[in-house]
Structure 1
């Protein structure tokens, strides 16, 4: 059985010499990824108008999330066999290729293709980092390192939207993507000193993961994208079987009982997916809503992303400080309740045409709920994992995260198109999807564990 290389450092913090290089590297990777996400969310309304691709707006967000599932499964299997070093490096290459494609895209279709490649890299990166956390840091430091993941969003949240709006206005939106390539190169330089240590770790006792999981991941990603394409093209009935196939494909990629909200780890995974679905439905469309309904500029609308990033990080730091007094189960329950209240308030703000301050405030509440509850899903997952299935469970957590958001965004795309064609308010349909997902998150959070639940969760 492989053990974590932390013996003798039980009293050290994440900035102690034993962990400092790894902490800096993973912090930088999350921060650069966060900057890209915040920047692209800010300028995507401009991109969709410039490339005449508003019909593919939802797909531009769903595509990297869906393709990320393939990267997650591959990285999870790779990490369980050989450790996380090589998947980390490959993820940076794929991410760079995708970003370059987006920056040079002549059409919205090509941009969506670039987002697919970018998602492969992002998915592999996230899973690899979760495995690194499980390998390098002891359990008592894991809430702190996960809180640092949220803290890594602070600077991108503060400056990302404003910088993206300025770059798009002065140089054009393409440089929002192209400028990220330099950040990826810097991340690789920071990661280089850490990689040799990670290469010394292998899960020699881990069972080989079935190769069919990768095929299921590809199937799930394709079907998620098919849901949005079919539904938005008017073939709503044809999208229903695609949704069913997505659920079928999820089964081998997650612990037994996840789709039925089984108690313990399955509900932790389900809570992660549903929280992600509800929040990212709001995030993808709140900037567009603030511009279309309230007439804000891209820079003004991006302020909402800035505030949410800071609030999310602050709430995440709070849950880390309360780790001895607030169980993961309770944190997830509070976080999902806040997320549901925020989605409902955002929906009412649009319905009643209330102040944009109220709509933005609702989104901020959603960020606080995510910082409190979303972070603890990672802690609860690792508490339920062993060296032999840490990669699978990390992969499952991130798969639920991405597939939940991607499928919800696809449904948002269908609702947005249908409401527009019917002469209704498309944003009511979008935020209605967020409310439904948040309700599901509240239910699954009530079934999560507050203590370790054992390592035998992977499907046979």
Structure 2
């Protein structure tokens, strides 16, 4: 029996990443729960897009520039700047007296979070082997269970006691702990280069037109501009699903469009389409993320078997089936039980697919991409896909109900079928089928490691 010896600090880094994912989950539920209260207090009910867009725009500004910042400042100073920006952005938002000031604080915090996310994920790519990264991704998915169950109620309780401004600062201690762990463990590669893509700054410009713009032609132009920026960040071959890492990134983007687009409309689908109560809709709403989190915990063990290398496309196929079933059942015979089962199956599919797909998207294979470029590309693909899915779903579903909802979910199911194709092609240069290919693959990996050590 052989044992795997990992470099010192890898466990600390893994714990820090999981802690930050838990903090991200808490932050998400705190922000979404407090949104009506903040909008009322700042008299910004007509500016909800402004309140929501700040952090997203900041994130997309940071992504194409993160590589340059890390190279110039180094690891520890990057983490320091990111933490100051994160806490400072929250402080600005928490003390805001106007919607624009709140949006500015969210923008600063979003930019800092984007910078820290790229640094953290690139450090994980550099210092954690695939087996440990697979477990980290699976456990990080499970970190959303507790916030999903108790987050809204706890947030409202704390808001009642201390007000929304102090409640907005609640996740800060968890974030600080996670960042301190990463500071002790992460050692950025001094040879890291070409992680920044200035043309990627078109993404926040396009996203601003898409999210804040009220005129639909401006929104269409915004989508086109943002897509050009995303194409500059993602590696060549992503659009054509070239086998290997590009196909995995393309599948990750399509997954974001299909799944998160459907997720953004699930409450409307159930209340307006299936005519269920909001309480019953909440049961279905929580079914998919719980199924995702619990299923993903079993994936690291399953992915060790070579005959299960097709688990990511199989899982995405289940998700496409669940999303499509919601539309078909609504069209013919709406049933609450059928909706619950379909959405749960979709969550199980994501749990089976996501850990393996994310590992493939953040492993260079034969592409030669640096850790910073991989981290930036993966975050961009999933985040922009999610944003685009929500925008497309909102546009289609607003045309008519329930026909618009049926059309939206059929579109999302079709996009997820595309993600299945990308996930299937993503194994092209990473799991060779014959023994000679496996031997050549090992030689290539060993050669890369020797160059890195030198």
Normalised by the size of structure 1, how large is the TM-score? Answer: 0.78
Q: In 1, distance between residues paired with 2:329 and 2:185?
A: 51
Which of the numbers 204, 221, 226 marks the counterpart of 2:209?
Answer: 226
Which of the numbers 163, 172, 181 marks the counterpart of 2:169?
Answer: 181
Q: In 1, distance between residues paired with 2:137 and 2:390?
A: 26
Which of the numbers 127, 131, 135 marks the counterpart of 2:118?
Answer: 127
Query: Match for residue 238 of structure 2?
Result: 258
Q: In 2, distance between residues paired with 1:61 and 1:352?
A: 36
Which ranges of structure 1 fall in alignment gaps of 5 or more residues?
1-8
Q: In 2, distance between residues paired with 1:430 and 1:109?
A: 32
Query: Match for residue 189 of structure 2?
Result: 203
**Deviation (angstroms), 1:409:** 1.9
**Deviation (angstroms), 1:391:** 0.9
The aligned runs of 1:67-106 (5 Å cut-off) are: 67-79=58-70, 84-100=75-91
Q: In 1, distance between residues paired with 2:234 and 2:240?
A: 12
Residue range with higher mean Cα deviation, 303-312 or 147-156: 303-312
Query: Match for residue 30 of structure 1?
Result: 21
Contact 1:282-1:343 at 8 Å conserved across structures: yes
Query: Match for residue 379 of structure 2?
Result: 398
Deviations 1:265-304 (A, max 9, x none): 111111111112222222323245556653315xx65544
Contact 2:86-2:113 at 8 Å conserved across structures: yes
Q: In 1, distance between residues paired with 2:408 and 2:295?
A: 26
**Deviation (angstroms), 1:94:** 3.7
Query: Match for residue 142 of structure 1?
Result: 133
Residue range with higher mean Cα deviation, 25-34 or 80-89: 80-89
Structure 1 pair 266–219 and aligned structure 2 pair: CA distance change class (3 A)? same
Structure 1 pair 205–103 and aligned structure 2 pair: CA distance change class (3 A)? closer
**Are positions 1:448 and 2:426 aligned together?**
yes
2:171 is paired with a residue whose SS is helix
1:182 is paired with a residue whose SS is coil
Structure 1 pair 404–384 and aligned structure 2 pair: CA distance change class (3 A)? same
Contact 2:82-2:113 at 8 Å conserved across structures: yes
**Deviation (angstroms), 1:390:** 1.0
**Deviation (angstroms), 1:95:** 3.8
Q: In 2, distance between residues paired with 1:52 and 1:289?
A: 29
**Deviation (angstroms), 1:376:** 1.6
Which of the numbers 359, 363, 373 marks the counterpart of 1:379?
Answer: 359
Contact 2:362-2:378 at 8 Å conserved across structures: no
Structure 1 pair 328–60 and aligned structure 2 pair: CA distance change class (3 A)? farther
Q: In 2, distance between residues paired with 1:227 and 1:186?
A: 32
Q: In 2, distance between residues paired with 1:427 and 1:227?
A: 21
**Deviation (angstroms), 1:397:** 0.9
**Deviation (angstroms), 1:65:** 4.1
**Deviation (angstroms), 1:338:** 1.6
Which of the numbers 325, 328, 331 marks the counterpart of 1:345?
Answer: 325
2:425 is paired with a residue whose SS is coil
Query: Match for residue 412 of structure 1?
Result: 393
Query: Match for residue 4 of structure 2?
Result: 11
Residue range with higher mean Cα deviation, 394-403 or 432-441: 432-441
Normalised by the size of structure 2, how large is the TM-score? Answer: 0.79
**Are positions 1:296 and 2:278 aligned together?**
yes
The structure with the largest alpha-carbon Rg is 2
2:349 is paired with a residue whose SS is helix
2:298 is paired with a residue whose SS is helix
Contact 1:130-1:394 at 8 Å conserved across structures: yes
**Deviation (angstroms), 1:259:** 1.7
Query: Match for residue 6 of structure 1?
Result: none
Q: C-alpha root-mean-square deviation of aligned residues, in Å?
A: 3.8
Residue range with higher mean Cα deviation, 276-285 or 305-314: 305-314
Deviations 1:167-223 (A, max 9, x none): 56x469x63x7425232234314532541443xx3423333445xx13x23211220
2:354 is paired with a residue whose SS is helix
Q: In 2, distance between residues paired with 1:158 and 1:429?
A: 30
